[in-house]
Amino acid sequence: MFKNGWRKPSVVMASYLDRIGAGSVLADPEVMDFDWTPPELVGREMVQRELASKFATLSHPEGAGRAVITGPVGSGKTVLADTFCRDIQRHLSGKRNVRSVKVNCRNASTSMRVVQRILHLLDPGHPDRGLSMGELLLSLRRLLRREASHLIVVLDEVDHMLRRSGDDLLYQLLRIDEDQEGKGTMSLILISQEQVLDVLETAVISRMGATNHLRIKPYTVDGLEAIALQRAQLGLVTGTWTPEIIRLIAEKAGPSGDARKAIELLNAAVERCEFRQDGHNESHLIIEDIHEPTNAAIVTTGSNLEVIDDLPPHAMLVLLAMCRRLTNQESMTTGDVEQLYAVVSEEYEVKMKSHTTVWKYLKEFETRQLTVSRVATIGGGRGRTTHLSMPHFLPKDLGSRLEMMLKKHFR
């Protein structure tokens, strides 16, 4: 016991740190890392096949490949190259010795640093200072010949190097077999957000091959769902999540088309779920977990929730009916909407609008990004039904504002 009754901290007092790492929801923290390479790439099957076609000759002793991968942030460019390099080495194991190195040109932004980094990854003991570019390239040639290996060089964010040093290094790497016995010692993959072919000299484009350009589009909601589902299956405790909550996360990330956004949302939901674990709360992800905490005062004083303020009164009633269901359920059908709208109309003592008008309201909600719809096949293939969800707003908060607004319309 110390002065003022203060006790010396004990091991017991550090119990608040118990949830760091794996917890009651999170089983494997590594899976939630942006840079984690999955055992199987999901959501990019078509692009994988297209990339593989650029390296069709790699199984031959003198075969090589070239590819330029471009696309927006979070479209899966880097993980596409990473999984390809890993998988092709396994696929050709016993047939050809294939190695790969990846250099991030944002960190190694000059051609000299790029070559030094390549050599260091291949041979950690290789001197990386005091050698000219010619000497470094000669060392690289000798190393590849000595090992009788084929090297796949991946230059990620290559635009950073091109802006500082130009494309001479690319030309040198593409000519690395000249004046040597044999050929096919190196393949090259360039990755960039930008269309880098526009800044390359004609001689480099000719050797890279303009047809070897792979343009990757942003992920669809289905692709983001596949990514989030894979991470949940491999990184979370069984029974702590549902396919419906994963779909809601994908729909929330959908406008960005960014895989990192979907992973971030899943990770944040897990953190919120872990945070509220006290033995009495739900030990699985719920709708509130995928939304940022909202200050209750904001609901009444104004925020992005103001997007509903100019809706017709009956549209507000329909939306309120949806909020009440979606507070505890990830999605609902259009049939559910009309049934609950009838209940809310009776509560406010007003006559319901027609089916056609309700349908127009639902389309307006989607236009304002209040809701998201998807059409799914009914079990047994007997028909199709529309499912509605609310990934961009917390239904409880939206419902509170609607009730406040409706008091003004139906006093």
Residue range(s) occupied by CATH 1.10.8.60 in the chain: 219-293
> What confidence score (pLDDT) does residue 301 get?
38
> What confidence score (pLDDT) does residue 307 get?
87
Q: Read off the pLDDT of residues 288-315 as tens digits, 9 standing for 90 and up.
A: 999 876 444 334 334 578 889 999 999 9
The DSSP string of 19-33 is TSSS-SSBS-GGGGS
Q: In the 8-state DSSP scheme, what is residue 90?
A: H
Residue range(s) occupied by CATH 1.10.10.10 in the chain: 296-409
Give the closest residue to 119 by CA, choosing from 107, 137, 106. Answer: 137
> What confidence score (pLDDT) does residue 21 get?
54
> What confidence score (pLDDT) does residue 306 get?
85
Tokens 């942003």 locate to 218
Cβ(323)–Cβ(330) below 8 Å: no
CB atoms near residue 282 (< 10 Å): 12
> What confidence score (pLDDT) does residue 243 get?
95
Q: Token pair of 248, please?
A: 């809601």
> What confidence score (pLDDT) does residue 145 get?
85
H helices within 280-354, ranges in order? 296-301, 313-326, 334-347
Of the CATH numbers 3.40.50.300, 3.30.70.20, 3.40.50.1820, 1.10.10.60, which one belongs to the domain with range 44-215?
3.40.50.300
pLDDT less than 50: residues of the chain: 11-13, 294-302
H helices within 179-333, ranges in order? 202-208, 221-235, 243-253, 259-275, 296-301, 313-326
Measure CA of the first residue to CA of the last residue in the chain; give whole Å: 63
Cβ(284)–Cβ(240) below 8 Å: yes
> What confidence score (pLDDT) does residue 16 get?
55
Q: Read off the pLDDT of residues 186-201 as tens digits, 9 standing for 90 and up.
A: 999 999 988 888 888 8
Q: What is the pTM of this model?
A: 0.84
Measuring CA to CA, how many Å separate 335 from each of 147, 254, 259, 331? 67, 25, 32, 12
> What own/partner pairs with CB < 8 Å and gap ≥ 24 does 59-65 have?
59/92, 59/95, 59/96, 60/184, 61/96, 61/182, 61/184, 62/182, 62/183, 62/184, 63/184, 64/150, 64/183, 64/184, 64/185, 64/186, 64/187, 65/152, 65/187, 65/188, 65/212
> What confidence score (pLDDT) does residue 381 get?
55
> What confidence score (pLDDT) does residue 380 get?
56
> What confidence score (pLDDT) does residue 298 get?
39
Q: Token pair of 314, please?
A: 């009956």
Cβ(159)–Cβ(196) below 8 Å: yes
Q: Which residues contact 394 (CB under 8 A, 6 or more apart)?
A: 287, 288, 291, 294
* Domain formed by 296-409, architecture: Orthogonal Bundle (1.10)
Q: Which residues contact 206 (CB under 8 A, 6 or more apart)?
A: none
Strand partners, 213: 68
**Can you name the CATH fold of 219-293?**
Helicase, Ruva Protein; domain 3 (1.10.8)
Handedness of CA 65, 66, 70, 74 (dihedral sign): positive
Residue range(s) occupied by CATH 3.40.50.300 in the chain: 44-215
> What confidence score (pLDDT) does residue 105 get?
95
> What confidence score (pLDDT) does residue 299 get?
41
> What confidence score (pLDDT) does residue 110 get?
94
| 3-class DSSP assignment, residue 42 | coil
* Element holding 139 (H helix, E strand): helix 133-147
> What confidence score (pLDDT) does residue 337 get?
96
Cβ(102)–Cβ(151) below 8 Å: no
Give the closest residue to 35 by CA, choosing from 113, 96, 102, 122. Answer: 102
Q: At what angle do helices 243-253 and 259-275 cross, to 10 degrees?
A: 130
Cβ(358)–Cβ(318) below 8 Å: yes
> What confidence score (pLDDT) does residue 197 get?
81
> What confidence score (pLDDT) does residue 20 get?
57
Cβ(245)–Cβ(287) below 8 Å: yes
CA distance 230 to 66: 30
